Structure 1
Amino acid sequence: MYEGQTFEAILERMLNRVPSNVDKRPGSIIYDALAPAAAELAQLYMELDTNINLSYADTATGEYLERRTGEFGINREQATKARRKGLFYASGDVPIDVPVGSRFSINDLDYTAISKISTGQWMLECETPGVIGNQEFGPLLPIDYIDGLVRAELADVLVPGEDAETDDSLRQRYMDAINEQPFGGNVSDYKQKINAIPGVGGTKIFPVWNGGGTVKATIIAANFGPTSQILIDEVQTLIDPEVNSGLGIGLAPIGHKVTVTGAQAQVINVTATLTLAPDTTIGQVQQDVEDALSAYLLSIRQAWANESALIVRVAQVESRILTVPGVVDVANTQLNGSATNVVLTDEQIPVFGTVTLSE
């Protein structure tokens, strides 16, 4: 914004104001007197430019962005704690219950039993907020002794934990709120309210899907994977507790009969024939290929909420495989047994299945 306010430009303008019969060469008295002032002015202009950028939502960051969005009631979403399924067994793999509040550990993470799902199955909450609570699976160690407990396991992600909202996400929510004007149960209003619920990563709204006054909200989990029934039930309770009542008991307006569902998982199995570099085997590239394809499907799921329908493309699968070191060429690629793209419905998401490679 303050282009042309460099040290050299400022000093040149200052020297131009000095009469020409005065020595203005570097090292002269007037030059040495003006140069420090010009340097301070150049620094001041840089700080002014930074301050102006921090005043507008499209360029502000950190607390300055929060102060701008907060003026419109849009605040940064804080990190949330993951809720997981814990499995508990006594001798002989007999399911056993544990006390509410009992704590368990896995790889420096601690989980607390908060509610019972069924005998031997409990909802655990990670004591550390953020996505880190979604990542571990496997054997749990009880922090305190529990009589009769022989084995404990950390299983499904029921409600994904989320990290604190990024600047980009906060800025986008602010722009959406300003430009789309959510109001009184319109599509933008539903999206804003449901997306703000912990554990929800995106929402599609289907108005009048089953007659007048009906609304269908399909959600994807915050980790962009399939949605657990527990999360679906929580969202349903907040939006319209008495399903299809239209009484306006939840966040939905009076007269709106809301049904909440989860995005449907479509497994994608891949087969391909590879040409490998010398001294490279299928076993050496298998994991890298799986990681590349898993990342590709994740990128598709991340775009789900803003796309009418998703397509898993053979060409994209092949291009991802070709990025793996040691892979020279790929042919005969099939998705779910067909050489064509997989076109999903507007409520489906692709999830990683199997990868079968051959030479």
Structure 2
Amino acid sequence: MYEEQTFDAIMQRMLERIPDTLDKRESSPVYMALAPAAVELASLYVGFDCMLAETFGDTASREYLIRLCADRGITPKTATYAVLELETDVEVPVGTRFTGGDHFYKVTASGQVTCEQPGAAGNEYLGDVIPVEYVMGLTTAKLTRVLIYGEDDEDTEVLRLRYQESFNERAFAGNAKDYHDKTLGIAGVGAVKVIRAWNGPGTVKLVILDSVFGKATDVLIQTVQKEFDPNKDGHGDGLAPIGHAVTVDTASEVTVNIAATITYDNGYDLNTCKTQIETAIEEYFAGLRKNWENQSKLVVRIASIDAAIMGVKGVVDVTGTTLNGGGNVELTEYEIPVLGVVTYG
């Protein structure tokens, strides 16, 4: 806004106020007297510009955006710890520490460990782990899957979007917005649909996805259930208001098998393109799942899959694509697609 208020522009205005009968050249006493003031004024205008940007949510830097969010009762989400399934050949006491990959893990429940490093990095390693201290009778220990995904600190632009959305709809006393925001505030939850009066008055169902927009594990479902209504009785023992009997569930997975005939460019064939093709299809499916919360239902479209395949280097044409032996696959409101078998013609 104040980009034009440079040293030269300010000096020009100041010198115009000095009579022409006086020497106003750069080496003159008049010029030398005004120059320091012009430098300070130019600096002030730069400061005004920065201050104006930090005043509004769409331009504020992270530090000041956090302060603006605080006025709306919004705090940035901090990094969370990944919870993983641990398979061992003997029962391992709670508190036992393991190491695997680049991380350390601590047993927090039977068959479960929590990564000691917060963030998404805790999701990356699956495989054999070694106890930090000797465990009697233990010969094998392995991390087999992620139960609750760890998340990094909330991205600035995601926080900014939450701030802007807070003006559109107000979360209050168990309304849909309140359930939505509180559910997404639980570590490991990436999306939620709130179903009101799903089983009669006073009942609420929360259908959730995990933080990578996949089907939630039983552990995550139980965690969210405990937070809202541990006994599903509406007695107000959790976040849900008294009289709201809350049930937590997750979306159902629908496997989509794909068949397509693909023509390759010179120097390319199925062996060189297969991994990239299936990665492109997976990314399309991931995009659908990520948008699940905002859609009444998802549709897996042949045209979109063809476009994803055509975007792979070395592919020149794709024809005859079918999904589960037919056309587009239309899902219900509480279903998400997962990629099955890809058959190449």
Structure 2 partner of 1:93 = none
Structure 2 partner of 1:212 = 201
Out of 88, 102, 106, the position equivalent to 2:100 is: 106
Please state how far the C-alpha of 1:227 moved relative to its aligned partner.
Answer: 0.1
1:153 partnered with 2:142: yes
Structure 2 unaligned runs (5+)?
Answer: none
Structure 2 partner of 1:92 = none
Distance 1:101 1:4, change over 3 A: same
My pick for the range that moved more, 21-30 or 262-271, is 21-30
Q: Secondary structure at the match of 1:178?
A: coil
Structure 2 partner of 1:86 = 86
Q: Over the residues paired in the alignment, what is the CA RMSD in angstroms? A: 2.1
* Aligned pairs for 1:130-145 within 5 A: 130-145=119-134
* Aligned pairs for 1:200-349 within 5 A: 200-243=189-232, 245-338=233-326, 340-349=327-336
Distance 1:325 1:37, change over 3 A: farther
Which amino acid in structure 2 is aligned with residue 246 of structure 1? G
Structure 1 unaligned runs (5+)?
Answer: 90-95, 117-121
Distance 1:291 1:36, change over 3 A: farther
Which amino acid in structure 2 is aligned with residue 77 of structure 1? K
TM-score using structure 2 length: 0.92
Cα displacement string for residues 167-209 of structure 1 (whole angstroms, at most 9, x for unaligned residues)? 2222222333333111121100111111111111111111112
My pick for the range that moved more, 156-165 or 313-322, is 313-322
Structure 2 partner of 1:42 = 42
TM-score using structure 1 length: 0.89
Distance 1:275 1:32 in 2: 75
Distance 1:5 1:263 in 2: 57
Which amino acid in structure 1 is aligned with residue 106 of structure 2? T
Distance 1:152 1:127 in 2: 17
Cα displacement string for residues 37-88 of structure 1 (whole angstroms, at most 9, x for unaligned residues)? 5444333322221122112222222221112212333211110001010111
Distance 1:292 1:15, change over 3 A: farther
Distance 1:31 1:318, change over 3 A: farther
Q: Is the 8 A contact 1:286 1:357 kept in 2?
A: no
Which amino acid in structure 2 is aligned with residue 214 of structure 1? T
Cα displacement string for residues 200-236 of structure 1 (whole angstroms, at most 9, x for unaligned residues)? 1111111112222221111111121110011111111
Structure 1 partner of 2:160 = 171
Q: Is the 8 A contact 1:216 1:259 kept in 2?
A: yes
